[in-house]
Amino acid sequence: MIDKLTKEQEEKIPVYLKKWLDNGYSTQPLDREKTAESIKWIYEFSRMESHYMWFCDSPMQIQLIIHLLKSEGLLKYNINYNITGNLADNLRKNLPDNLGDNLWENLRDNIRYNLLDTIWDNLGETLMTNLRNKLWDTLVNNIRDNLWDTLRENTRDKLWDNIRANIWDNLKGNLKANLWANLNETLKNSKIDFNYFFSPSLESYWVGTYDFILNELLPERKDEFSVFNTKCIGFYKNTFLIIPFNGICFISERPTLIKTIKSTNDRRVLHCDGGPCMTFKDGYEFHALNGIRVSKEIAETPSHLLDSNIVLKENNADVRREIVRKIGTEKLCNDLNAKCIDKSPDGMYELLMLDLKDGRMRPYLKMINPSIGVYHIEGVHPDCTTVESALMFRNGTSQKPIKLT
């Protein structure tokens, strides 16, 4: 039983953390030969068949190709050389900018050299559940049962806080969550079904933890878990994102650009003021400010040119906060002819009357989030005339909130 880590072992924690965070944030192109070997392994390990591996430039390209293959039987006969007519015109209406040409080229290249019947026969339900269950039931649970119990609770807590939770927050809770949400929202707006995906390099929180345990705490047991230490780690290192089906696996390239900023809790969050925070080879991209997804207009428009009225039209409180942060409270208040009609004694709350530019003046509660030091503006009921009444409307109580949400 390992009661505590040695000084040398504690010094290795940042090394493993950096190793797996760097892998998740990597923008280097996949080594497709290694990726193919890893995909072949996970299929064989899960007792599934993979006849074909379909590489795509982005997760969006995968989603659109699957949509086409599932919903357009006509594609089976038209794809080999040219895509023309209503099929192409209708689909282009649903494509984000700059994705069309790469999509058609990818479809032609893959279907031309593949058995069409094999593709259509196997594009039913994805194998996500089967693959995950096999991985966890056969490999993860075995490692956990044999290795985790060899550690005292305080040692487990240290590894949980310093490796597992850190990787989770930075990769799965940040990169994957934002990528997932953007894909889902974009496809929903385009009336295209969203297919769930598996992103090993962004879900490596448990792999990084056991990588450390096996190699630094229990190296004498490495041979006992050779499959994990070679094949499984290789799969999580070499694979960015997949959507697996029976007989065919769709594989996405890594992003070509990822931009982040350190937040107040020292966590890296997606952020780029002036451009996209994540970009892929085919032009798929999305935007975020301080870890909050925002529109291209909000992210790329210089602050001095951004229309302050946009804050009045935004329903999402987090996005409103980022608009205020970017424009600045002074400019925002000037642009909207703000008049302070009440203020709390501690100065944390102000009730402002803002000009809606349609002949109406409406009350908005201005407040500061103490945890990040950023102002936030929220509309309240037209009858509110004091900070107290605005807080009662917002929270159903006259007491100030402990934490802004």
Q: What is the DSSP string of 362-387?
A: EEEEEEEETTTTEEEEEE--TT--SH
Query: Distance from CA of residue 82 to its chain's centroid?
Result: 34
The answer to whether residue 55 scores a pLDDT higher than 80 is yes
The model's confidence at residue 4, banded by pLDDT at 50, 70 and 90, is confident
Residue 354 main-chain phi, psi, to 5 deg: -110, 145
Rg (alpha carbons) of the chain, rounded to whole number: 25
Neighbours of 378 (CB within 10 A): 15
State the pLDDT at residue 78: 46
Question: CA 28 to CA 235: how far, in whole Å?
Answer: 16
In three-state secondary structure terms, 343 is strand
* 8 A C-beta contact, residue 219 and residue 34: no
Question: CA 344 to CA 9: how far, in whole Å?
Answer: 51
Edge-first strand order for the sheet with 247-252 is 50-56, 247-252, 241-245
**pLDDT tens, position by position, 145-195:** 888 778 888 888 888 888 999 999 999 999 999 999 999 998 888 778 888
Give the residue-averaged pLDDT of 208-213: 92
In three-state secondary structure terms, 29 is coil
State the pLDDT at residue 100: 67
The answer to whether residue 204 scores a pLDDT higher than 70 is yes
* 8 A C-beta contact, residue 149 and residue 213: no
Report the range of poorest mean pLDDT among 36-40, 108-112, 120-124, 165-169: 120-124
Give the residue-averaged pLDDT of 84-109: 60
Report the range of poorest mean pLDDT among 37-46, 121-130, 259-268: 121-130
The model's confidence at residue 79, banded by pLDDT at 50, 70 and 90, is very low
**pLDDT tens, position by position, 330-358:** 888 888 888 888 988 888 888 988 877 76
Give the residue-averaged pLDDT of 310-333: 86
End-to-end Cα spacing for the chain: 43
pTM score of the predicted model: 0.81
The answer to whether residue 212 scores a pLDDT higher than 50 is yes
The answer to whether residue 115 scores a pLDDT higher than 60 is no
- What does pLDDT average to over the chain? 83
The model's confidence at residue 119, banded by pLDDT at 50, 70 and 90, is low
Give the residue-averaged pLDDT of 210-223: 90
Report the range of poorest mean pLDDT among 251-260, 302-311, 364-373: 364-373
The model's confidence at residue 132, banded by pLDDT at 50, 70 and 90, is confident
The model's confidence at residue 58, banded by pLDDT at 50, 70 and 90, is very high
Which of 16, 1, 3 is closest to 216 using CA atoms? Answer: 16
β-pairing, 278-279 vs 285-289, is antiparallel
CA distances to 238, 256, 280, 300, 316 from 58, rounded to whole Å, are 15, 10, 6, 22, 27
Give the residue-averaged pLDDT of 189-214: 90
